[in-house]
Structure 1
């Protein structure tokens, strides 16, 4: 391992851990958002079924009760839509955090890779120079 790269390894490990943590957090928020969207779909489906009504004539009080219940479902739909908007904003923030953490991890990894490659090339040049020197020494003998 490169003497220049060695001190960066703890930072690379830490950046990798932060990226993984951010990815797990993003997955959690994505699941919450999907669950909220599913609940909204269920509310809308239930509203359609309930608003379609039953069979036969209804009394005025039954009709008013039905309308009141549909109004409450409509309120729940509005609240659920607002909740989805809030969860979408949170998800975008978490995704941006992951993107930043992942970019940092990649950047640090690239620096370490470059240092290791530079050291390998320097070792190759050194080895080639030694071989050239040995060959020169053999020719002069």
Structure 2
């Protein structure tokens, strides 16, 4: 590895670590969003079940209590929908951050690869020059 590539290696490792950390945060945020969506579907399912069950003869108080409870479930559904929107926005922010860190990692990796290739070519030219020089000395003898 060339001295320049060696000098850049700590930056490459740091960029790799940042990219991995950002990817882990992305996965965690995806899980948070999925959990919030699951909770919403459970609330909606529960509301549907509660609204359609027990439709027999009920007292006025029982009907009012039932209606109040359904309204509370509806409020929870609205709150959960708001939470899902917040989680989705946060997911986009985390995804954008990961894309940026991944791009930096890739760019640094490309720079190091270019330095390595440049050094390899320089070494090849040096070796060829040495071989040519040895052949020249043999011919002179």
Q: TM-score, normalised by structure 1?
A: 0.95
Q: In the alignment, what sits opposite 1:126? A: 126
Residue number in structure 2 paired with 1:87: 87
1:30 aligns with: 30
Cα deviation, residue 140, structure 1: 2.5
CA distance in structure 2 between the aligned counterparts of 1:93 and 1:86, rounded to whole angstroms: 11
Match of 1:56 in 2: 56
Cα distance in 2 between the residues matched to 1:101 and 1:55: 57
Q: CA separation in 2, counterparts of 1:98 and 1:126?
A: 42
Aligned-residue RMSD, C-alpha: 1.1
- The ranges of structure 1 where at least 4 consecutive aligned residues each deviate by more than 3 angstroms after the TM superposition are none
- Structure 1 unmatched ranges of 5 or more: none
How far 1:55 sits from its partner (Å)?
5.1
TM-score of the superposed pair, with normalisation by structure 2: 0.95
Deviation (angstroms), 1:67 = 1.2
Q: How many residues align?
A: 141
Cα deviation code 1:43-79 (max 9, x no counterpart): 0000000000215211222112111111110110000
1:11 alignment partner in structure 2: 11
Gaps of 5+ in 2: none
